[in-house]
Structure 1
């Protein structure tokens, strides 16, 4: 079985953007997933193996974001977020963005509009933006959706435990 490597660019709260590497491998007929936190102290043996795998699967880890996103509409339905009809859209103070970061904000918004990830909107809903520095000095734009999440109607059906989902996916290719 080919080893799969997936890089998740951000995880955790918006205030602490952390990168994780997830490795899915087959060992003794079972699919095993391990995670390496980018903040873990580097173990030379692990770092060497990680580098080797990243080079082997370089085609899976693109530096540039591909243009376009899946459409919001799909066959048989439309993607939507239901909110409490009695709740007003959250009204939060705008987080101050330091003057040196304004140029970064403009560049990232322009890039995401060009890629089709963002579009002009007149929605009453919005979220504060903040930046987290990535390893290497680049900046990640983060959106804080906590206020919107607080007025979102939660799904009434329970999600299966993650180990059940992984078990169901072990035969997936």
Structure 2
């Protein structure tokens, strides 16, 4: 049995790569690269000039600290931009504040970067034969990429202390996920799907045995270090046989994250269409674990049809409760074995049609 290492310490196998875990280095202004975030605008685009949002005393104090820190490390600079987006704060679970810029108006007139994000289901399939994992979380993520030279003014945000613009890629830009995925994919291209999978700033390294795994992890850490990317040690998991990744628990099979199950268990009955959409967005992510999901959820989805008056019925409530109970008892899904036979099950009703491709477990026969 391989035991998880304490993430508060750098594993001895990687102590010579200490620089890749350096928090202070991650706070330095990164160099310009070919992957700088471009903000290309649609022809004739009219850019926003926002008002200042009112802030509480606590938010205002946080703003001062944010500006001081980001000005000091060069992540932002004073701006003379003719446009601006509003700044606001969102409370985190620990009570602290997350700084946000509302770039919705800018995003509406930005030409979209169509570089694809990987499908989560495909990433899970790539690691199906692994026995040991290491998960890396990149520190600073988007701030590790510069805004393209000449585009900084488009990121300007207004505060009571002045107008500022980003020199690093801020959170909230519509093209930020694609730009970062492209950057990391190219850096780790030779390792992708062979020893690692990447979803934006989450990197999962997988291997058959510990000896190989240490070599694989060293290769990834070295490549990150060479490209001025840094790892958040406290969010890493090294040399484990069971790991949380993208909302799933990976082991010899795939199961739901218990924290997400708890969220679904306590989900209140929707009071409007927007709340239904929120629930379905969450539930759809895990639909692979629920047999006949489409048919079960029909009493809820029919309330989304155009012209249907919202009325939360007993039938819809029963469907919601059934789904909650189903998620709690959801099975661990084993990865398919191409050497074993497959079974096809088809089903249809007045509201849904579907099929299941499955295999029998060699030990249990289920």
Give the TM-score taking structure 2 as reference length. 0.28
- The separation in 1 between residues aligned to 2:101 and 2:44, in whole angstroms, is 24
Following superposition, the deviation at residue 106 of structure 1 comes to 1.3
For structure 1, list consecutive stretches of 5 or more residues without a partner in the other structure.
1-48
Following superposition, the deviation at residue 144 of structure 1 comes to 1.8
Matched position secondary structure for 1:109: helix
Counterpart of 1:119 (choices 77, 85, 94) is 77
Following superposition, the deviation at residue 100 of structure 1 comes to 3.5
Matched position secondary structure for 1:54: coil
Counterpart of 2:68 (choices 106, 110, 132) is 110
Alpha carbons 1:67, 1:116 under 8 Å: kept: no
- The separation in 1 between residues aligned to 2:103 and 2:7, in whole angstroms, is 32
Alpha carbons 1:66, 1:115 under 8 Å: kept: no
- The separation in 2 between residues aligned to 1:61 and 1:137, in whole angstroms, is 26
Q: Which residue of 1 aligns with 2:109?
A: 151
Following superposition, the deviation at residue 160 of structure 1 comes to 5.6
Deviation per residue, 1:102-147 (Å, 9 max, x gap): 1221121011100111111112332211112334433221222221
Asked if residue 74 in structure 1 is aligned to residue 56 in structure 2, the reply is: no
Q: Which residue of 2 aligns with 1:161?
A: 118
Matched position secondary structure for 2:99: strand
Alpha carbons 2:50, 2:84 under 8 Å: kept: no
Following superposition, the deviation at residue 86 of structure 1 comes to 0.6
Q: Which residue of 2 aligns with 1:98?
A: 56
Asked if residue 128 in structure 1 is aligned to residue 61 in structure 2, the reply is: no
Counterpart of 1:85 (choices 38, 43, 48) is 43
Alpha carbons 2:49, 2:85 under 8 Å: kept: no
- The separation in 2 between residues aligned to 1:74 and 1:154, in whole angstroms, is 20
Following superposition, the deviation at residue 57 of structure 1 comes to 4.4
Alpha carbons 2:92, 2:98 under 8 Å: kept: yes
CA 1:82–1:168: 2 relative to 1, 3 Å: farther
- The separation in 2 between residues aligned to 1:138 and 1:61, in whole angstroms, is 23
For structure 2, list consecutive stretches of 5 or more residues without a partner in the other structure.
12-17, 124-184, 186-191, 197-215, 221-366
CA 1:169–1:114: 2 relative to 1, 3 Å: farther
- The separation in 2 between residues aligned to 1:137 and 1:119, in whole angstroms, is 28
Alpha carbons 1:89, 1:148 under 8 Å: kept: yes
Larger Rg: 2
Q: Which residue of 1 aligns with 2:8?
A: 55
Computed over aligned residues only, the root mean square deviation of the Cα atoms, in angstroms, reads: 3.4
Matched position secondary structure for 1:110: helix
